Amino acid sequence: MPPLLSIVIPVHGVEKFLPRCLDSVLDPATGEGEVEIVAVDDLSPDKCGAILDEYASRDDRLRVLHLTENQGLGGARTAALPHLTGEFVWFVDSDDWLPDGALAAVLAELRAERAASVPLDVLITGFNHVYPDDSTEPNPWRHLLAGSPLESATGSTLRAHPALLRTVLSVWNKVFRRAYLTGLEVSFGRGYYEDISVTYPALMAAGRLRYLDTACYNYRRGRSGAITATASPKHADAFAQYDAIFAFLDRRPELADLRTLAFERTVKQALTVYDSAGLVPTELRGEFFRRITAHFAAHRPADYRFPGGVTGVQYRLAAKGSRRGYDELRRAGRLLRGR
């Protein structure tokens, strides 16, 4: 029988954090044959490759792929996929780690799912943010999921619970049925925001989603080099991922009613990146705003209606390409909030 769960860990330049990650997924309490771990050494410049090999020599649940060219997070995950045999797959980042008992909790859910009449496509888990001073913050989007139909044994869909798309859309707190994931015919992107070209389609197309209201993942926030804290032209990589999301929707006309939901979420993310100080380099902010306007032109649904209030005004200005008007509105809002 194949393992119940495959865990994929892309690895690059994280020797300081890697042992904690590996220790957390190589839980000795795991049932025999239930878990396989495939770690991908993405041509790491430090000692990560040697650390992986040493761990693999002591535990046959861990296999290591050593890439000869750096592929980035998306490419490293993609490289692992042909080597997986588990019923479900979980993508864990190598600078993060699983809390005590998290793997056991996820496996218990997946075991129970074997008896379900309708297969589970994605299990969404709770998580913690962990900051450099070791302080923690529980999932800030929990209120959108806990107590919802997604938490029930029968689960739900994105169409029935659209608030799901307002939560974190990273891949690391989602456990996918592997056959479902590969059948979507989507792929991780290159560069920043590489996972949203997978998570959006997976959530939109799923026939059954569930939420496990247990913190099963510790996600590091604010570490040096993290994209959420780094000024880089690569934040514009998001637009290629948006294009991939809408290309998927073009191939799936039965999901047409979800297009507006996806469009507004991508616009909100793009504007949030633009608004966040220190992310888009100053000399590139004009080009980034033009990319948002182009996104409106390319992917705005034919029947789209702008939301009301200030958000609607912001969206109209972005759609028109009025960067000056948008920035003035933002400054006015900051002044009003500061009174």
What is the residue extent of each domain of the chain?
Answer: 5-229, 233-337
pLDDT for residue 253 is more than 70? yes
- % of residues, the chain, pLDDT over 90: 91
pLDDT for residue 227 is more than 70? no
- CATH superfamily for domain 5-229: Spore Coat Polysaccharide Biosynthesis Protein SpsA; Chain A (3.90.550.10)
- % of residues, the chain, pLDDT over 70: 96
Nearest to 191 by CA among 237, 257, 252, 134: 237
pLDDT score at 224: 64
C-alpha–C-alpha distance, residues 230 and 232, integer Å = 6
For the segment 136-147, what is each residue's pLDDT rounded down to a tens digit? 999 999 999 999
Reported pTM: 0.94
Strands of the chain, DSSP E: 5-11, 35-41, 62-66, 88-91, 122-130, 136-138, 174-177, 209-220
Q: Which two tokens stand for residue 110?
A: 């997946």
For the segment 83-126, what is each residue's pLDDT rounded down to a tens digit? 999 999 999 999 999 999 999 999 999 999 998 999 999 999 99
CA atoms within 13 A on the CB side of 37: 26
Q: What is the rounded average pLDDT of the residues 45-71?
A: 97
pLDDT score at 78: 97
pLDDT for residue 228 is more than 70? no
